[in-house]
């Protein structure tokens, strides 16, 4: 009798890097995807779960996060989420990715209210929301008036 063994790769410790973006150099994951903080998180605890976490996946780790070149290791730590998993923090603030950032260096999340990208000093960076300008209405043409009425 043969027994099939299933080997799962052990989850790795999260890696935090610095990546150049249109906002400047910001914290990013190991793949260069921008990391964000949420204004509504309090005392180092995440308040983003459920549908929020689907749009803003937490940066999870299995242990002490790894600081790559340019990231101060002493500013990285972890916080336990409500589901028991460990989320990476920077200066005590939980870190998240943004699902709409499809590739390295994108900062679409920085234009969303209550979210910001971070520099290595902890400075929060925002970007003005992008919106499509509404076209100005054209003036309605007025018929020519020959006078004040009654032929005047």
CA atoms within 13 A on the CB side of 64: 6
* Distance in angstroms (rounded) separating the CA atoms of residues 66 and 2: 40
pLDDT of residue 44: 87
pLDDT 10s digits, 27-83 = 999 999 999 999 999 988 999 999 999 999 999 999 999 999 999 999 999 999 999
Query: Per-residue pLDDT for 88 more than 60?
Result: yes
Q: CA angle, corner 77, sides to 75 and 79, nearest 5?
A: 140
Size (the chain), residues: 152
* Distance in angstroms (rounded) separating the CA atoms of residues 59 and 65: 10
Select the more confidently predicted residue: 140 or 39: 39
pTM of the model: 0.78
pLDDT of residue 60: 96
How far lies 35's CA from each of 62, 142, 143, 152, in Å? 18, 55, 59, 72
* Distance in angstroms (rounded) separating the CA atoms of residues 149 and 5: 97
Query: Per-residue pLDDT for 115 more than 90?
Result: yes
pLDDT of residue 9: 47
How far lies 66's CA from each of 27, 40, 77, 94, 147, in Å? 13, 26, 10, 15, 82
- Tell me what the pLDDT averaged over the chain comes to: 85
Query: Per-residue pLDDT for 3 more than 90?
Result: no
Domain extent listing, the chain:
15-125
* Distance in angstroms (rounded) separating the CA atoms of residues 61 and 85: 8
pLDDT of residue 146: 52
Segment 18-29 shows an average pLDDT of 97
């Amino acid at each position: 009798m043969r027994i099939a063994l299933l080997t799962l790769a052990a989850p790795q410790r999260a890696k935090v890097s610095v990546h150049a973006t249109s906002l400047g150099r910001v914290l990013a994951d190991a793949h260069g995807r921008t990391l964000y903080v949420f204004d509504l998180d309090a005392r180092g605890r995440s308040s983003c779960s459920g549908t929020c976490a689907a749009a803003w996946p937490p940066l999870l780790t299995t242990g002490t996060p790894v600081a790559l070149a340019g990231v101060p290791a002493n500013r990285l730590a972890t916080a336990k989420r409500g589901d028991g998993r460990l989320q990476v923090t920077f200066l005590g603030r939980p870190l998240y990715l943004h699902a709409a950032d499809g590739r390295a260096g994108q900062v679409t999340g920085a234009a969303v209210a209550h979210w910001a990208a971070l520099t290595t000093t902890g400075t929060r960076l925002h970007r003005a929301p992008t919106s499509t300008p509404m076209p100005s209405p054209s003036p309605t043409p007025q018929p020519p008036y020959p006078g004040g009425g009654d032929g005047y």
